[in-house]
Amino acid sequence: MSILKDILYGVSLLKVVGSTESEVNAICFDSRKVMPGVLFVAVRGTASDGHAFIDKAIDLGATSILCEEFPSTLREHINYFLVDHSAKALGIIASNFYDKPSAKLKLVGVTGTNGKTTIATLLFQLFRDLGYKTGLLSTVQNQINDLIIPATHTTPDPIALNALLHDMVKSGCDYCFMEVSSHAVAQSRIEGLDFTGGIFTNLTHDHLDFHKTFDSYLRAKKGFFDHLNKKAFALTNIDDKNGMVMLQNTEAHKKSYGLKNIADFKAKIIENHFSGLLLNIDHEEVWFKMVGSFNAYNLLAVYSAALLLEQDRLKVLTSLSRLSGAEGRFDYMISPSGIIGIVDYAHTPDAVQNVLSTIQDIRKGTEQVITVIGCGGDRDQSKRPVMAQVACDWSDKVILTSDNPRTEVPEQIIRDMEAGVMPQNKRKALSITDRKEAIRTACHLAKPGDIIVVAGKGHEKYQDVGGEKLPFDDKEILTEFLNLVS
């Protein structure tokens, strides 16, 4: 049980009807989950407005209501609190309710379009290898030391997020590394959190279905750094054209990493093979298991953050050289006949180009690159033709297929992609709606030495069709067909 005045600490209350001395046993913003004795926070969401469910919440037992607009009739024995921004208040309340867990460990957030999952996962693996109890909040999974908790969002809602951080504190975690999505910043999910540091990866075309404009997307990412305090560090990719923009208004200690420009932390690619990368990092040559220039940036970001967290440089490099990153990120396999298969989560034009350009850098030149790619339904439609164009420009053959169509017709999504296939690329592209059949076809088209890239879903173990999540695993299916054709 918590006293209202304690969990409302730091919230700017415009009006109070009732008492702040009452007890509540939980906080809730989803009326379907209301139980007796809760504080219900009415949040205006993208799909629904919590204010429409205030009466339902009270009927289910809510004893206190926090909202931006009082209902026309106030019920007796119910506490009402008026604020100007419920979502921001919810973050502060959730942090207070769970006894400010983010202040009791070192919390580092990673934001940007590409690389968030890899960097957060590598930091988690690194710090565990260095002997620390550590937590992870990522797209692939949430983890508290050895305990794996399935992830439903890149960044959980404020209540779930603070509950997880509270569990990490109870488990003795020294650090937590988390992905910070642009949605989370825009929806105030990280309000009330105390970050030790923030990392910016890069910014490219994504999530414009939600943010509408690239500038809005940029401002959401930048908002994370704007709220870092003067004790934190803000680490940016200086080679990205928006890298320094992220740090313009932050009070945090500004640091940079890069391969091309002058930076606080510098690296150079010496060798790049399917078997790994040889990098010179701060004048130390180290071989890493990960592949490609985009992973050189990821590794450098992890190294830089670890040093900013006062870890020993040589121990960090030694440990990093043993790690292999996140599931579904450039997952690499070779069939018995020598066909190379790569599964990657790349679902933005830039991410697809990163994967395919990396292959271009490594390939011998005689082998084919066959790319299987789709676009998600109910998401940014403007990137669909661009995705197809990038795939065609960097591949010898491209199979356009279904990804997670959700509530859209898969054939229409593919038609949107086909608009990006330029006349000179028509011969190399074909469309197969069934994703499993598309992967099977790619395997039958491949000869020994060829490279098959299956992009878009990575670690996901399902395909979302009509709102139903059906079992589907790109890596499992690709492995099966590669073995059949060998």
Interval 337-346: pLDDT, tens: 999 999 999 9
CA distance 102 to 126: 20
What's the whole-number mean pLDDT along residues 277-295?
93
For residue 468, pLDDT beyond 80 = yes
**Residue 486 banded pLDDT, cuts 50, 70, 90:** low
For residue 381, pLDDT beyond 80 = yes
pLDDT at residue 327, rounded to an integer:
81
What's the whole-number mean pLDDT along residues 19-43?
95
pLDDT at residue 214, rounded to an integer:
66
CA atoms within 13 A on the CB side of 454: 32
In angstroms, the first-to-last Cα distance of the chain is 62
Spatial CA neighbour of 51 closest among 20, 35, 29: 29
Burial class of residue 19, CB neighbours in 10 A (0-12, 13-18, 19+): exposed
Pairing, β 468-471 against β 462-465: antiparallel
pLDDT 10s digits, 227-273:
999 999 999 999 999 999 999 999 999 999 999 999 999 999 999 98
For residue 151, pLDDT beyond 60 = yes
CA distance 103 to 96: 11
CA distance 313 to 251: 26
349: amino acid identity, one letter: P
pLDDT at residue 207, rounded to an integer:
46
pLDDT 10s digits, 9-28:
999 999 999 999 999 999 99
Judge whether 222 and 244 are in contact, CB under 8 Å. Answer: no
pLDDT 10s digits, 191-226:
999 999 999 999 875 444 444 576 777 888 898 999
Judge whether 413 and 306 are in contact, CB under 8 Å. Answer: no
For residue 473, pLDDT beyond 60 = yes
Mean pLDDT of the chain: 93
pLDDT 10s digits, 118-127:
999 999 999 9
Burial class of residue 260, CB neighbours in 10 A (0-12, 13-18, 19+): exposed
pLDDT at residue 175, rounded to an integer:
98
pLDDT at residue 211, rounded to an integer:
41
**Residue 392 banded pLDDT, cuts 50, 70, 90:** very high
Of the ranges 296-310, 316-330, 347-361, which is most confident?
A: 296-310
Residue 463 pairs in a beta bridge with: 470
For residue 110, pLDDT beyond 70 = yes
Cβ neighbours of residue 332 closer than 8 Å, sequence gap 6 or more: 274, 291, 340, 341, 342
Cα–chain-centroid distance for residue 365? 34
Two structure tokens written together for 337: 């006949």
